[in-house]
Structure 1
């Protein structure tokens, strides 16, 4: 092939997060998460794993000047970026912190959200237990997480599709099945789980999918790890780049109440 729809170099993490947030998929599911969070003026809301502050603006608008939108992230660069982006918004504060050990007093927040964060943490149960501790009675946590084991990419050779998904699930994402597990895990630490919403994004454009999934980069890594041969890698990528494309995956929005 003389041209490719694939990104060969991974984008800057903050660029990636902003790009996803600005996509149709990002706007849809983030809007639904905000709706389920049901933030009221004057409340304290936590954005746990806030990254560069992509979602702090809408939270600050919801709590108004009488409330507080608090971002927490373990990465110093993300904290600095979030502080810079939200400078001048008096309702916003951003702290360096660990979701496993939040430096917040018991029962200090009304609402909390996690957005594609628990798939990466070392101990999701411990993180959920911490959120339960800091929420006031009757507080609400809204979580959005993919289930990577549901990733389905059409290809004439279905074994290659299964190999790709298996590599992502086994090797790339730490907690790859967290989406389906969240209702059970939240209940185990004391939350009630009144609602689970399944969102199934469908990609028909390979370039749009690649911007989210990093198809070629992931495939090359899968080949190195032994999930594809060189010949299978070539067939897989050639078809994705030149054929009729379809990919889909289930994304779960889980509402939990303390």
Structure 2
């Protein structure tokens, strides 16, 4: 049976969107074992705006936070997000800084690195992808999607193939605004295994599952599992653990 791999986002992207990254470590650690036991493919736990929020709002050391999470979550791979060559900053960083940052993150517990360039300049992912692989992590190379005459289906496929050539283990689409409509996905369902980052995207997730794309996206887990239960996809988790 084909499997859908689910990444839980509550430790980073979800709480970043809802409470601007203000989820304290003391609130995370009591539920860490529960999250670890569910059987997720990965836990999106670090990077992005939550790095700055740890310093500015929580007065926490983000590196210590990562090490504490790794100590409490022993089985499930931890995932982080970086904005390509800018890492978690607002401007491009030197290559040696990029390499050192990623190396340290992997040493402290990161196993999957999700990365994108805001302007889809894939040259800015070359060093981060190489650094992540050298450090022993796997890479999700993501494209920022916005409907336009330029960024059409053919452009997505070309860019995805470029990411694959750079060494990305998985290809993702950052479609936060939900611009990719379900009817558009049906036109070319097998061109590439695109995951979706889509705020209102429960219907897109179902269409993606039906067209046999091989990785998950961002949507409400409870809504999605109900749909999967009536189909022929396996989410890889034990039935007793599905009430989350």
Same fold (TM over 0.5): no
Where is the strand percentage greater, Structure 1 or Structure 2?
Answer: 1
TM-score (norm: length of structure 2): 0.34
The answer to which structure, 1 or 2, has the higher relative contact order (CA under 8 A, 6+ apart) is 1
